Structure 1
Amino acid sequence: MKYRELIAEMTLEEKASLMSGKDYWQTENIERLGINSIFLADGPHGIRRQAAASDKIGLNQGVPATCYPTAATVANSWNAELGEKVGEYLGEEAVSQKVNVLLGPGINMKRNPLCGRNFEYFSEDPYLAGKMAAGYIRGIQSHGVSACVKHFAVNNQEEKRMTIDTIVDERTLREIYLTAFEIAVKEGKTKSIMSSYNKLNGTYTNENFHLMQEILRGEWGYTGTVITDWGGSNDRIEGLLAGNELEMPSTAGETDREIMEAIKNGKIKEEVLDESVDRLLDLIFSTEAAINRSKVEIDIDKHHRVSQKVAEESIVLLKNEEDILPLKFGKKVAVIGEFAQNARYQGAGSSLVNPTILDHTMDSFEESGILSIGYEPGFERYGKKNKQMIDRACGLAEKADVVLLYIGLDEVTEAEGLDRKNMKIPENQIDLLHAIHEVNQNIIAIISCGSAVEMPWIEKVKGLLHGYLGGQAGARAILRVLSGDVNPSGKLAETYPLKYEDTPSYRHFPGKEATVEYREGPFIGYRYYDTAGVDVLFPFGYGLSYTTFEYSDIQVDRSGVSFCLTNRGTKAGMEVAQLYIGCRSDKIFRASKELKGFTKVFINAGESKTVRIPFDDKTFRYFNIETNRWEKESAHYDIMIGSSSADIRLVDTVLIEGTEAPVPYDKEKLSAYYSGKVSNVSKDEFENLIGRKLPDPTWNRNKPLGYNDTIAQCQYAKGLFGRIAYHSIIFTHRFLWKIGKRSTANIIMMSILNLPFRGIARMTGGVVNMPMLDGILMMVNGHFFKGIWHTIKEKIKLRKVLKRKNTNVSQ
């Protein structure tokens, strides 16, 4: 251990105290030993250091910081070096605000388009997500502070995220849901990781020995700190045994006492606690040293310009009929759409950044060179229909040569803690589009949202530009692409299906009660669409440019693939060349192609460049569930170079000698997986894949409610108090939504309705402890007066304990 001597000076109580937070955002300190508190802050795309005191619970406004494009946006750049640059600026701002641990990036897979937090995640592909994340981590940690990769692992829905049990087979877990984390650990060398709320195959991830010890620390050699998601600790002792150092937020000493008692009664060895303390001390001392030696003054304008550059490289041009873009000089443009006036530039929830500067479209036209003849909002932001607004917008559109129509999803539709109800853009916006098309067919739609949407209306627009959520400078970046000052080079990091029902997880998302079954196995995103032959609106890796690129002369050797890339157009531009691998053997079921490399190349008009993409340890591997390790299959592999997963330009073949591992599957029992047509896998076939019987996916409505049941389950409570509480919450949510307090209504769903009862204790910083929670459960389960008395009695006991503790500290 690195700090053995220091740990030897600590009392058992001091060591245990370090294992949970001091308050909502800080770790505990031990003043007599020179161990100070460190500060943790949200920050996947900007620092959200809460302006309110750190003992205040909630999503309070942060200190102003640069709001960079979200991860879903930057992933469209396909530029890991750009991700590293974002990380560097995030790290610099973290140091300036004395934030030791930046809680990001988020690298969960986009299993389903409706996950409410997809705006905060990179991709449906683990290789792309991992490489982008590693860039972010290197950048953040170049300043000595720590990134905190999250949410480990298989947290792919927001509904009931704190209790849902994710059922997934081992191979899919390794190949799809853990690979990005593996890259983040091995290549990014992240100093900290945040465990997710959910269960994995029956065990909370924070306590999952297989995930946390065998894989993370054993196979990957991770020596950093594991931090719970806020309120994500279930059994503190099991979490400590699994290798979780830091529980957040504070429990006012309650779990400290649990740890001490477990050591005294021999349930856990003190050496296990010492190792956890050692790892946490390394995080504390290393990040504290970096902050103390740095005197950073942030150049707000410079950081804003960097945010704009990142947004420009991440914007995706999806349609350009009749070369309507870039806009021709002198064209009269009508600007329509509420998002033009009030930009939609980031997500909602814990990642909400208070921007230092905020560009809006209507304030940026003069420098763009685009001739605007006026603006109309055209629709109400939160979906209410308004014919008068449409009529006024159509009146303006009639006078214009071209209409710039700003549409998308609002802030309460894409939010932490909630999943989207559908893939549609609100109906009032599409009504506006149809009405404008009647008077002016030259429509360029600019979309602002953080995830995939259906576009049955796409034939009504000639140009389609997707800005995703471009951060505080995103509005100006979009205008620079529209004007032609910037040649678009973004490509989609996720597939856009024609309709939601086409997605492979359609029948099993989200898990509504106890479990969510990943019956599609490894066939998510393009892996499914390309293998099963399902048509899509826009394929993975797709994006247009104002120039054209030609691929030629492929050369494959044992270490990689080379080819020639030529810019055949009249404008300089950047092209994302993508390497896909396809195995010709049918012994092991696999997707028809898998992304195994990519590079982004700038090429002047008429220029040619030789491009090389190397192979690595992930190029040909698959996870064998029989040998329990990564293997290579002896086979011929197609080496495919493409401009997207559906636009393969060059193909060659290479013979790879494998590891001759046994075939772990019975092909006849897994026919859906061998065909890739996994949209409706039977229960029996999925059980054959996972090798066990499926757990009951429903709540047990006959037993009393317990710690890990949700407040939503009070609708089935035996006690009248519980049922009244449930219906009161539902009524309050609906009322707030109706009167326009939608963000508050969302917080009720996220922070109350889907909260497990233990979360009342874990999230209140010690205001409510577990014995008091026992009283609340008595009330819910039909013993109202007994429960009230128990709760009051335990509250009095807690006050006495805290009073004694405070007295001892002051002495």
Structure 2
Amino acid sequence: MTRPRRTLLTSRLTPRLISGLASLLGLLGAALTALPPLAPAGAVADGPCAAWMDRSKSPSARADALVRAMDLDQKLHMVTFGNPPWVTYYGTAGHVTAIPELCVPDLVLSDAGSGVAGLQIATTVFPSGVAQASTWDPALQRRLGRAIGAEAHRKGINVMLAPGMNIARTPVLGRNFEYFGEDPYLASRTAVSVINGIQDNPVLADAKHYAVNNQETDRMTVDARVDERTMRDIYLPAFEASVKEANVGSVMCAYNRVNGPYACENRPLLTKILRRDWGFDGFVVSDWGAVHSTVPSVKAGLDLEMNVFDFPAQLTPIFGAGSRYYGADSLKAALRDGKIKPSHINGMVRNIVRPMFEHGLFEDPVKPGLDPYLRDATTPEHLAVARDVAAEGTVMLKNRRDLLPIDETETGTTGAAGGAGGRTIAVIGWAANPIGAANATSGGGSSHGSGLPPRVVSPLEGIQRQARAHGDRVIYVEGSSGLDARLAASVADVVVVVATDGSTEGADRPDLGLRPSVCVAVFCSAIPIEQEAMIEAAVEANPRTVVVLDVGGPVRMPWLDKAGAVLVPWYGGLEHGNALASVLYGEREPGGRLPQTFPRSEGQVPFTQQQYPGRDGKAVYSEGLLVGYRWYDAKRERPLFPFGFGLGYTTFRYSDLSVRRAGKGASVSFRVRNTGDRVGSDVPQVYVAAPRRAGEPPRQLKGFEKVELQPGESTRVRITLDRRAFAQWDPRRDRWKVTPGRHGIAVGPHSRDLRLRGAVRPRG
């Protein structure tokens, strides 16, 4: 695997420089937040706004009425960044200022997928996107989205720049932790659930980064070259589902180029596919600094420009003037020269205000200001959601001789019996202590959540609380010397060693190693702590060692054979320590399943330089449909851990498969029984194998359902597969088609354990 170049975001920012930048931004924010807040629009039933404030009218009719009432300056005001600028407007990512005379409320945008992040304070940091996907639980994911939306509105924010749903094409993608894994079906189900939850509030969600945005190396310029079938089958389904099923209010166009044009001036993406094919009726917002033109972007379908650097004139000597392709002067010049039409501007504004009407932003306007910025948005209910997602998203990869849960195992050193207490538990690792955990519970960049004031529950704190309740004793060492890790492990009954990586926006990982980092606001810098030697020392000293990996994606595990158990909680958010301890002690089970394959080594998936990170500015997706487990299956490669894998504290048996044609799809049913002695959950997965002439991968996930069963209990699981589950994109006919013939159906707990098999011949 080619080692990607590190970017300025992480490689050139020393801790001192990071601290200075954060302090400067904080001073700017404090100065600007001291200004009186802008008056929000009100929801009036009569007066000059009556024509579009009538809720009995459709959102489209209301949007048309408002656009007709606007003059040109008011329209242009709606399509570009407002001042004060990025991050200094009450810690948000950007905004469009209210137009009080037209009852138009502020449009305030914030990062992102792990909660209300960026420079926000006093919010709940939820588990990251990959952990959310690992729950395989749409109902829980909707609860999480609903909590994020509620906190956003309480903080004076009505557009959440989430969820991210790009596909994990490579295991080293720096933003894999934000996304929902390698499979388009799982990513689609997760995205729809989170968006529905966010938009249960008067808050818009944002589907990002559209599209084919699968690397941070050269992310501003790389041209992703991908054929249309691959794009439609692998990289676009989550965006399509977000539009068609979740009615997402906005879509963010990405930095990169796609088959030539930049994503934000890419007419095939923004107009042909997004609006004409899918019927999107919200607005397209640019990623920050992703706009490179005025006229081409307008004609392609970009509605709202956001920019990283758009500071007032007095600050330009420090930050630069930036660019504003959608500024009033640029757009007026394009209108004057006949390069764009008034109808273009009208359409852009209509696209922005229509979802604002539909989702209640006019009726329940936010009031940005110092008071909501300082307000604590966290609630006990939201913390409970964070714990639930953290536990349900934790994937157990190994549990030798039922080492876990702790309270049901025999101890090896003190001789205390299971459940009787008296154990000595060694907790090892920088990531386990409060300082380390604050940097290991969310990834770096725009989605990094500080949760300030500091209140992350570290693994050490969570384990100490559980240990006290069970009569156990905890010792802690930082472990980076290796010697202290070995000594602590050798005197303990059970060892919990916690390690982390430093996944971040702005840089891909150089390999699958464990490199921790420290993040201040959106800036991160790697720190020199040797964690692999720490793990090796612990597992050699004590086979009863649980390795906990607070990571953003797959990592290598040269110590795997010696470890007693392995847990992957990903980036677990504020309640990570409590959730982890409850899993370790068996109050909760590790409910997660892998949304991404773990390779055996960096070189197992042999990308050429042309494929990744690219050559001559182009990254060629020549692997086509063979992404993630599809590649492993097609090449008959055995991964370290397969897609969909995850252990629990009980066992399940599958039986009695029935597959029958239903409409243009199929109905699949089977029985699942809990054969263990503990209550537990399972995630039966349904895979479809198309006829060979279809040119598809060997099998693809097309259905799943999470079930919880008591010991000995069984249930019949019924999963409906629609026509799309059997279809492939036909670029020549510009539509989805079903290849006639026998389609295999396989059911099991993960992609490499498919215990039941059947077949169906769906209608075309």
Q: Name the TM-score class by shorter chain.
A: 0.7 to 0.9
- Code of the residue aligned with 1:368 in structure 2: it is Q
> What's the CA shift for 1:291?
3.3
Q: Within the alignment, does 1:308 sit opposite 2:387 as a pair?
A: yes
- Alpha-carbon shift at residue 601 of structure 1 (Å): 0.4
- TM-score, reference length from structure 2: 0.80
Q: Which residue of 2 aligns with 1:54?
A: none
- Distance in 2 (CA, whole Å) between partners of 1:36 and 1:572 is 49
Letter of the aligned partner of 2:686 in structure 1? L
Query: Secondary structure in 1 aligned to 2:95?
Result: coil
Could you tell me which of 220, 224, 240 is aligned with 1:166? Answer: 224
Q: How many residues align?
A: 634
The aligned residue for residue 288 of structure 1 is: 361
> How far 1:38 sits from its partner (Å)?
1.4
Aligned to 2:750: 644
State the Cα distance separating 1:79 from its structure 2 match: 0.7
Contact 1:146/1:287 (CA < 8 Å) preserved in 2? no
Within-5 A mapping of 1:286-435: 286-292=359-365, 298=377, 300-327=379-406, 328=409, 329=419, 330=421, 331-341=423-433, 342-343=436-437, 344-355=440-451, 357-369=455-467, 371-379=472-480, 389-409=481-501, 413-426=502-515, 428-435=530-537
Match of 1:628 in 2: 734
CA contact (8 A) 2:149 2:199 kept: yes
For 1:601, which of 694, 697, 707 is the aligned residue? 707
Counting only pairs closer than 5 Å after superposition, residues 449-468 of structure 1 correspond to structure 2 as 449-468=551-570
Q: Which secondary structure state, in structure 2, belongs to the residue aligned with residue 537 of structure 1?
A: coil
The range that moved more, 643-652 or 616-625, is 616-625
1:170-209 aligned within 5 A: 170-209=228-267
Among 38, 52, 55, the residue aligned to 2:107: 38
Between 553-562 and 277-286, the greater mean CA deviation after superposition? 277-286
The residue correspondences of 1:671-750 to structure 2 (distance < 5 A) are: none
Equivalence for 1:519:
622
Identify if the C-alpha distance between structure 1 residues 443 and 190 changes in structure 2 by more than 3 Å, giving closer, same or farther. same
Query: Which residue identity lines up with residue 449 of structure 2 in the other structure?
Result: V
Partner residue, 1:14: 74
The gaps in structure 2 that reach 5 residues or longer are 1-59, 87-93, 311-322, 410-418, 516-528
Pair 1:88-2:194 in alignment: no
Structure 1: distance between partners of 2:431 and 2:742:
50
| Mapped partners of 1:444, 1:290: distance in 2 | 51
For 1:97-136, list aligned pairs within 5 A.
Answer: 97-136=155-194
Q: Map Cα deviations across residues 762-804 of structure 1 (whole Å, 9 max, x no partner).
A: xxxxxxxxxxxxxxxxxxxxxxxxxxxxxxxxxxxxxxxxxxx
Equivalent residue, structure 2, for 1:541: 644
The residue number in structure 1 matching 2:276 is: 218
Residue pair 2:392, 2:592 contacting (<8 A) in 1 also: yes
Q: Which has the higher contact order (CA 8 A, sep 6+)?
A: 2
1:287–1:247: structure 2 CA closer, same or farther, 3 Å change rule?
Answer: farther
Work out the CA distance in 2 between the residues paired with 1:290 and 1:607: 48
Which residue of structure 1 aligns with residue 116 of structure 2?
47
* Residues 316-351 of structure 1: per-residue CA shift (max 9 Å, x gap): 110011111111333321111111113111011101
Distance 2:593 2:69 in 1: 55
Deviation at residue 33 of structure 1 after TM alignment:
2.9
Structure 2 counterpart SS, 1:354: coil
SS, match of residue 644 in structure 1: coil
The one-letter code matched in structure 2 to 1:434 is: E
The one-letter code of the counterpart of 2:379 is I
Residues 156 and 366 of structure 2 are in contact (CA less than 8 Å); yes or no, is this contact kept in structure 1?
no
Say if 2:299 and 2:344, in contact at 8 Å, map to a contact too: yes
Question: For the residues of structure 1 that align with 2:545 and 2:603, how far apart are their CA atoms?
Answer: 28
Q: Which residue of 2 aligns with 1:258?
A: 330
For residues 497-508 of structure 1, what are the structure 2 equivalents within 5 Å?
497-503=599-605, 505=607, 507=609, 508=611
Asked if structure 2 preserves the Cα contact closer than 8 Å seen for 1:349 and 1:415, the reply is yes
Aligned to 1:665: none
TM-score computed with the length of structure 1 as normaliser: 0.76
- Mapped contact 1:145–1:291 kept (Cα < 8 A): no
1:30/1:367 CA distance change after superposition, 3 Å:
closer
**Gaps (5+ residues) in structure 1?**
51-60, 380-388, 659-811
Q: Are the equivalent residues in 2 in contact too, given 1:80–1:132 (CA < 8 A)?
A: yes
Contact 1:596 1:618 in 2 (8 A): no
**Which letter maps to 1:289?**
F
Q: Alignment partner for residue 531 of structure 1, among 627, 630, 634? A: 634
Taking a change above 3 Å as real, the CA distance of residues 290 and 649 of structure 1, as seen in their structure-2 partners, is farther
Give 1:599 shift: 0.5
Deviates more, 1:501-510 or 1:517-526: 501-510
Aligned partners of 2:108 and 2:159 also within 8 Å: yes
Structure 1 segment 241-280 matched on structure 2, within 5 A: 241-249=299-307, 251=323, 255-280=327-352
CA contact (8 A) 2:539 2:559 kept: no
SS at match of 1:626: coil
Rounded Cα–Cα distance in structure 2 between residues aligned with 1:423 and 1:464: 16
Contact 2:146 2:194 in 1 (8 A): yes
8 Å Cα contact 1:95/1:291 also seen in 2: no
In the TM superposition, 1:47-66 aligns within 5 A as 47-48=116-117, 61-66=119-124
1:310 positional shift: 1.1
Judging by fraction of residues, say which structure has more helix: 1
